Amino acid sequence: MTHHFNPFTDADGDALRAIVGADNLSTRGADLDLHNRDQSRHPMGNAQAVLWPQTAEQVAAVLRYCNDHRIPVTPWGVGTSLEANPLARYGGVSLSLEKMARILEVHADDFQVTVEPGIGHKDLNAQLARYGLFFPPDPGANATIGGMLANNAAGIRTVKYGASKDNVLKMRVALADGRLISVGSRSIKQSSGYDLLHLLVGSEGTLGVITQATLKLVPVPSLMSAVIASFPSVQAAVEAVVAVRGSGLDPAALEFIDAKQSALLRDHAGVDLEEKPTLLMEFHAVLPAALDYGLEQVRQICEELGASRIKTTTDNAERTKLWAVRHHAYETLVRLHPGYTFLIDDVAVPISQYPALIGYVEEIVAQHGIRAYMKGHAGDGNIHCEFPYKNAEELAVVEKINDLIVTKAIELGGTATGEHGVGTGKAHHMPHEHGEALEVMRGIKATLDPNGILNPGKIFPDVG
Amino acid sequence: MTHHFNPFTDADGDALRAIVGADNLSTRGADLDLHNRDQSRHPMGNAQAVLWPQTAEQVAAVLRYCNDHRIPVTPWGVGTSLEANPLARYGGVSLSLEKMARILEVHADDFQVTVEPGIGHKDLNAQLARYGLFFPPDPGANATIGGMLANNAAGIRTVKYGASKDNVLKMRVALADGRLISVGSRSIKQSSGYDLLHLLVGSEGTLGVITQATLKLVPVPSLMSAVIASFPSVQAAVEAVVAVRGSGLDPAALEFIDAKQSALLRDHAGVDLEEKPTLLMEFHAVLPAALDYGLEQVRQICEELGASRIKTTTDNAERTKLWAVRHHAYETLVRLHPGYTFLIDDVAVPISQYPALIGYVEEIVAQHGIRAYMKGHAGDGNIHCEFPYKNAEELAVVEKINDLIVTKAIELGGTATGEHGVGTGKAHHMPHEHGEALEVMRGIKATLDPNGILNPGKIFPDVG
């Protein structure tokens, strides 16, 4: 489908200032620059104006105006995305939710909180600590709740607590034509009509703009433990993952680091690891004995699968130290590759296909004589390949390899993206992954956004 | 929206027999009768033919033919529904999935199973026992997987394991125009395009017909415990629910029985209960000490909230006996009301609103001088009110009260249906619950089923 868009004019600026207020629209270069980049390798966006609405009604009015005038609108959280998800590709407006960042209500007895979309999840959790509750999805960076929901962000604790889509109950959403709708319910259970909530979560701002969300919260775990172990092969590590999950131990994190990156962390970050596939796990419990029992079970599983350097701890300081390996892994990579940029891939497969996927990556990486590091959320079958490159020529090579890996993941029954979303970077894989279902997605897009003004050029391999 | 449908003719019969085989189409009265009733009070359906396709391709071909000839198609599982969800309201075809009931593949390492839609969940779990895995949603009756997914059925263990929508990863679906699409992924994580999977789950056969599903499985719990306790008030019982959930004890079931029904169970089922609000809970663990610790915590919570007759057990036989109270509650009601039929309501609210909802029910029931019993999945804020009636006049009264309760639940931030679905019974509440979002649902319906042949008259308060 193709749409005709109009360029953003001074008259549009005047009309939109009347909606959001004179101070809340900018066409200054510095503001545009900030909103035309995310944390990815992808080309800069070309937004022509940045708007900061302060209410849902303003968001709706902006959309209605832009829809009437065929001006693209690309919602903006804080720009921690990795697939250019919030970068304007067809000009128009970057709609920042930065000034809609309030906690509206804590429903402590319901284990829920209602927030505006612009609040960062770390900021939210800092505020929620006093209630002994937290919002579990954690993509690493301090992404906004709106951005996390729009992209269905996940992170390391998804294996126990689910992704963003599993932790939201209700949203208020502004549609392209300026209607404001409520989707979902504060009732945990709902079987009432079509699940528009989950249709909108993960739609990357192409179907509507989230103006409010009620999130599920869980009690902050009282006790935690951690395990780290080196395995003789990826297959053995995956068997450990399956055994741990099958034993009902309900891990809160189950992370994989490949042999090459483990060696690098040993040599350059002072971590006691071998050059072998490594698993890092976390468990939560309410009873110390349950934690000890779980660790003993995990140790047995690891030993039976030939693991070495198995370390377990229930001590908080020691656990934090073990996890530092994971948290600083990317920084260590960056530090050891001065002058390089990283392409970070994100695919996911059924866990049984993890060894096949990793074997394939190792094979093509060797074939092309390039460097690549892998780590992933093994509990979910999600893996990130990190490819350093230093110029356009090298980028072209790693992008080609990236495409091969995505294709392989889809062939193995997996997906082009586990948690980073489609944006522009994965759009060309959508026909392969979804087949005829992509046409159904297009039909829904046309129904909700007939003029295609909402974040055009994302998800679909054309203007959408 | 209104659609024109054609009556089912002999020529249609011949054409459809050519698709499904001569033995797999019936227009006999006995077959129609069986497929025109579910377990609800609602009027019988008026299907004119029953079809039993054996493959997804046959389902697709049937839909294509019926779409071309404007013949309504209403998918049929096994008829355990309570809101007339699978009853034909505008004639046409009842599409039984009874002959598509195979387990296609057990992906044990992935904790997944791929099945056809016609298999009963109890039958599925019997087959899965050998793997130490099970599919957790359990609506009580042996509903088919296809029916459970179409209606997003839930049941008593939702508080820990989620509803049907939380336990499905991928589906194959036949659309009205005969296209077959795949939605979702066997990857646990997916952030790739619109979530059509969850759009289709709970759409009650109005958007497509599920021909295959890959379900999430969990390990069969090795240890279970149960607790039963009587509370001085609904408020105290709800405070216990909040405290148990907040303590991180992760209950596997958290059931409520109202004072009146508790007394009736005491007087007529020989159960040691008081005429007080009763909570029945279940916990799963891998370590005996964790189970004991959990029970001790729960006992303390119950005692602090003034509960009496607190019984806890980790013994399987004793636990089964405690649970018999819940499982036989409905039978006991039926036995004690000879000549009566029951209207069973299904609403859900945020748990903080449970006391307000129950107080309201007690108030209007007293006002109208009728009998009503309540039990519910308190952990989810879901409640079922059971109203005995013996003639059309009494039915009219309890239907009016039912409507008042649904209206109240929506006003309290809840939903018209937690787990039974909309069918025809709740359709008139959809404008109140969803507002403008209902128009978006209509738009999606029109996109996927432009001739409105799929289960017309359900979800929407008109032909849809």
- The amino acid at B351: I
Note whether residue B381 is domain-resident: yes
- The amino acid at B373: Y
Identify whether residues B252 and B322 lie together within a single domain: yes
Note whether residue A455 is domain-resident: no
Q: pLDDT category, A317, cuts 50, 70, 90? A: very high
**Min Cα–Cα distance to chain A from B188, Å:** 6
pLDDT at B104: 98
Identify whether residues A202 and A258 lie together within a single domain: no
pLDDT at A426: 97
pLDDT at B269: 84
pLDDT at A330: 87
- CATH at A404: 3.30.70.2740
In DSSP terms, A113 is beta-bridged to A106, A215
Domain boundary among A219, A245, A280: A219
Q: What is the mean pLDDT of residues B457-463?
A: 90
Cβ of A382 and B158 within 8 Å?
no
pLDDT at A89 over 80: yes
Cα gap B418→B20, rounded to integer Å: 36
pLDDT at A296: 94
Cβ of A413 and B187 within 8 Å?
yes
Task: Give percent above pLDDT 90 in chain A.
Answer: 90
- Token look-up 């059971």 returns B386
- CATH at B169: 3.30.465.10
Residue A132's closest chain B neighbor by CA? B246
Query: B-chain residues within 8 Å CB-CB of A416?
Result: 192
Q: pLDDT category, B248, cuts 50, 70, 90? A: confident
pLDDT at B389 over 60: yes
Q: What is the mean pLDDT of chain A?
A: 95
Q: What is the mean pLDDT of residues B340-352?
A: 96
In B288-355, which ranges are E strands? 308-313, 341-344, 347-348
Cβ of A422 and B222 within 8 Å?
no
pLDDT digits (tens, 9 = 90+) for A146-185: 999 999 999 999 999 999 999 999 999 999 999 999 999 9
Note whether residue B426 is domain-resident: no
Q: pLDDT category, B321, cuts 50, 70, 90? A: confident
Question: What pTM does this model have?
Answer: 0.97
CB atoms within 10 A of CB A423: 25
Cβ of A111 and B245 within 8 Å?
yes
Cβ of A415 and B289 within 8 Å?
no
pLDDT digits (tens, 9 = 90+) for B391-412: 999 999 999 999 999 999 999 9
Exposure string of A87-103, with b = 16+ CB inside 10 Å and e = fewer, is: bbbbbbbbbbbbbbbee
pLDDT at A326: 83
pLDDT at B178 over 70: yes
Identify whether residues A207 and A231 lie together within a single domain: no
Query: B-chain residues within 8 Å CB-CB of A426?
Result: 192
- A325's CB contacts (< 8 A; 6+ apart) are A228, A257, A265, A269, A271, A273, A280
Cβ of A191 and B293 within 8 Å?
no
SS (H, E, C) A150-165: HHCCCECCHHHHCCHH
Give, for B161, the enclosing helix (H) or strand (E): helix B158-161
* Domains identified in chain B, total number: 3
CB atoms within 10 A of CB B164: 29
Identify whether residues A140 and A207 lie together within a single domain: yes
Identify whether residues A286 and A313 lie together within a single domain: yes
In B193-246, which ranges are E strands? 209-216, 218-219, 223-230
Q: What is the mean pLDDT of residues A383-402?
A: 96
Task: Give percent above pLDDT 70 in chain A.
Answer: 99
Find out whether A76 and A96 touch, Cβ atoms under 8 Å: yes
Find out whether A125 and A131 touch, Cβ atoms under 8 Å: no
Identify whether residues B109 and B211 lie together within a single domain: yes
Note whether residue B168 is domain-resident: yes
Cβ of B196 and A440 within 8 Å?
yes
Identify whether residues B342 and B366 lie together within a single domain: yes
What are phi and psi for residue B346, nearest 5 degrees?
A: -150, 95
Q: What is the mean pLDDT of residues A105-115?
A: 97
Domain boundary among B269, B295, B329: B329
Q: What is the mean pLDDT of chain B?
A: 95
Of A248, A350, A433, the CB nearest to B186: A350
Note whether residue B444 is domain-resident: no
- B14's CB contacts (< 8 A; 6+ apart) are none
Cβ of B109 and A437 within 8 Å?
no
pLDDT at B307: 97
- CATH at B274: 3.30.70.2190
Cβ of B434 and A352 within 8 Å?
no
Identify whether residues B264 and B360 lie together within a single domain: no
User: What number of C-beta contacts closer than 8 Å exist between A and B?
Assistant: 300
**Min Cα–Cα distance to chain B from A411, Å:** 11
Query: A-chain residues within 8 Å CB-CB of B201?
Result: 195
State the alpha helices, DSSP H only, in A252-337: 259-269, 288-304, 316-327, 329-336
Q: pLDDT category, B1, cuts 50, 70, 90? A: low
Query: A-chain residues within 8 Å CB-CB of B284?
Result: 248
- The amino acid at A96: S
pLDDT at B270: 81
Least confident residue range of A65-69, A443-447, B264-268: B264-268
Note whether residue A138 is domain-resident: yes
**Min Cα–Cα distance to chain B from A128, Å:** 14
pLDDT at A269: 84
pLDDT at B464 over 80: no
pLDDT at B322: 84
Q: pLDDT category, A1, cuts 50, 70, 90? A: low
Query: B-chain residues within 8 Å CB-CB of A188?
Result: 158, 348, 350-351, 380-382
Q: What is the mean pLDDT of residues A305-314?
A: 95
Identify whether residues B212 and B237 lie together within a single domain: no
pLDDT at B369: 93
CA angle B301, A219, B215 (to 5 degrees): 105
pLDDT at B324: 82
pLDDT at B286: 85
Domain boundary among B401, B420, B439: B420
Identify whether residues A252 and A176 lie together within a single domain: no
pLDDT digits (tens, 9 = 90+) for A402-450: 999 999 999 999 999 999 999 999 999 999 999 999 999 999 999 999 9
Note whether residue A367 is domain-resident: yes
pLDDT at A95 over 80: yes
B-interface mutation test, from A81, A172, A188, most B Cβ less than 10 A away: A188
Sign of CA dihedral A74, A80, A85, A87: positive
Q: What does DSSP assign to residue B217?
A: -
Domain residue limits at B250:
223-329
In chain B, count H helices and then E strands.
16, 19
Identify whether residues A327 and A349 lie together within a single domain: no
Identify whether residues B322 and B384 lie together within a single domain: no
Nearest to B387 by CA among B36, B37, B40, B38: B40
pLDDT digits (tens, 9 = 90+) for B289-315: 889 999 999 999 999 999 999 999 999
- The amino acid at B441: M
Cβ of A109 and B201 within 8 Å?
no
Of B151, B248, B286, the CB nearest to A286: B248
Note whether residue B385 is domain-resident: yes
Query: B-chain residues within 8 Å CB-CB of A417?
Result: 190-192
Cα gap B218→B220, rounded to integer Å: 6
Cα gap B461→B426, rounded to integer Å: 8
